[in-house]
Amino acid sequence: MHDCAELFSDVMNKKTRVWLSSSVQKDVMKYRRKNDPNGLFWKKLCWCSVEAGFEHAELAEMVRHEGNGVYRFGIKESLFRLIGFYDGGKSNFIVIDSFLKQGQTLNAAERKRVEEVARVAKAKLWREVGPDGIPRNLR
């Protein structure tokens, strides 16, 4: 079971609610400290979640379909990717995994990670966790 906390939970009226698993939360913070000094990745993620919505981000090719209902979020200036799926239409984006791609195309290990996210989505092996750390739902 993946416990997922909402990103930008203090912002009201977001276009897309983004939920990060605990491992992804750590990866994102590490990436922000070491590889995103000007905050571009973070700013684009915030913009897509709060202002534009991930549907618009799909048109801008920041969100791309990877197959089996799995999508990835990334920007062209970086190879860091968030791997997740939509829940409740396109109002929630659940991020289960993240990685720094080794090249322009996914390698076999990265492809396996995408397949694992598809398995998590299909089996509903995730749950929302509130800011207090208490799970909100059991799927």
| Domain count across the chain | 1
Q: What is the model's pLDDT at position 7? A: 94
Q: Is residue 137 part of a domain?
A: no
Q: What is the model's pLDDT at position 137? A: 63
Q: What is the model's pLDDT at position 104? A: 86
| Domain of 6, in residue numbers | 2-129
Q: Is residue 134 part of a domain?
A: no
Q: What is the model's pLDDT at position 139? A: 46
Tell if the pTM clears 0.95, that is, is over it.
no
Q: Is residue 11 part of a domain?
A: yes
Q: Is residue 21 part of a domain?
A: yes
Contacts of 32 (CB under 8 A, 6+ apart): 39, 41, 42
Q: What is the model's pLDDT at position 132? A: 78
Q: In DSSP terms, which residues pair with 73 in a beta bridge? A: 63, 82
Residue 89 amino acid letter? G
Q: Is residue 59 part of a domain?
A: yes
Q: Is residue 135 part of a domain?
A: no
Q: Is residue 67 part of a domain?
A: yes
Buried b / exposed e over 24-48, threshold 16 CB at 10 Å, is: bbebbeebeeeebeeeebeebbbbb
Q: What is the model's pLDDT at position 18? A: 96
Mean pLDDT per 10-residue interval, the chain, length 139 residues:
93 93 96 91 95 91 95 95 94 96 92 98 93 69
